[in-house]
Structure 1
Amino acid sequence: MAPTPAVEAPVEEQPLPNAVISRDAKYQIGQVLRHRLFDFRGVVFDVDPTYANTEEWYEAIPEEVRPDKDQPYYHLFAENERTHYVAYVSEQNLVPDESDAPIKHPDIAKVFEVSDGAYVLKPGQRN
């Protein structure tokens, strides 16, 4: 009987040095969300798989409420009762907005078409 050939164990693939680890985002572009602690809501226009802002901005968040960097972060066209702005928020601090009220941020028209209350990316905005 012939000897059984040796089977080599598969070599684990090593990530590239500059590789970004992919994270699954809970929310999607065009979805209306509200902040779970602060009184504002907005529509998602971009998602980072992990924190991608400056260290200075991150350190400015009070330590007792500073979110973990290793989670999706969302760019929102945001508004509150007084103003509109762009917000950068961790996934843990967002919840779906159930109000069905429109977001009135002036930059929405540059990125989205609004159809029956839904925010749909304009064709030129898709990656």
Structure 2
Amino acid sequence: MHKDLPITKRPLFTIGQVVRHRYFPFRGVIFDVDAEFANSEEWWESIPAEIRPAKEQPYYHLFAENEDSSYEAYVSQQNLVPDDSDEPVNHPDVPELFGSLERGHYQLTAFPRH
């Protein structure tokens, strides 16, 4: 677990916000949030122990992209930072839920279903 990052249970990001991963080269738009870890134990244990995030914090569902592909990601709050590039996220599912991008936030036009 990253000891240098403060862990808070209060969500710091919002649905529609564009974020990027603190350590890995991908970014995305948040389409849902869990108040704390809500994925499988197997998924959590597959993360190397030295970088495994705490479960007691918000986790975000992202329409994510990197240089090679688009996918859905599940990321702990401690591993996200705002993306201030104001560049659109080119994930194919973004238009299904969101409208225009304004100052780093997409405007929600539909309710997420996952």
What TM-score do the two structures reach when normalised by structure 2?
0.85
Q: Does 1:52 align with 2:64?
A: no
| 2:37 aligned counterpart, secondary structure | coil
Give every structure 1 segment of 4 or more consecutive aligned residues whose post-TM-superposition deviation is greater than 4 Å.
Answer: none
Q: How does 1:15-54 map to 2 (within 5 A)?
A: 23-54=9-40
> Identity percentage over the alignment?
57
Q: Residue 6 of structure 2 corresponds to which residue in structure 1?
A: none
| 2:99 aligned counterpart, secondary structure | strand
Question: Could you say if the C-alpha distance between residues 36 and 115 of structure 1 is closer, same or farther in structure 2, counting changes exceeding 3 Å?
Answer: closer
1:24 deviates by 2.1
Distance in 1 separating the partners of 2:84 and 2:97: 22
| 2:33 aligned counterpart, secondary structure | strand
Cα-to-partner distance string for 1:41-74 (whole Å, 9 max, x where unaligned): 0000000000000000000000000000000000
Which segment drifts farther, 51-60 or 109-118?
109-118
Distance in 1 separating the partners of 2:48 and 2:19: 22
Report the AA paired with residue 63 of structure 2: F
1:103 deviates by 0.4
Higher RCO, Cα 8 Å, sep 6+: 2
Q: Does 1:120 align with 2:107?
A: yes
Question: When the two structures are aligned, how many residues end up with a matched partner?
Answer: 103
1:110 deviates by 1.1
- CA RMSD in angstroms comes to 1.4
1:116 deviates by 4.3
Distance in 2 separating the partners of 1:69 and 1:24: 13
1:121 deviates by 1.1
Report the AA paired with residue 57 of structure 2: Q
Contact 2:12 2:77 in 1 (8 A): yes
Contact 2:88 2:101 in 1 (8 A): no
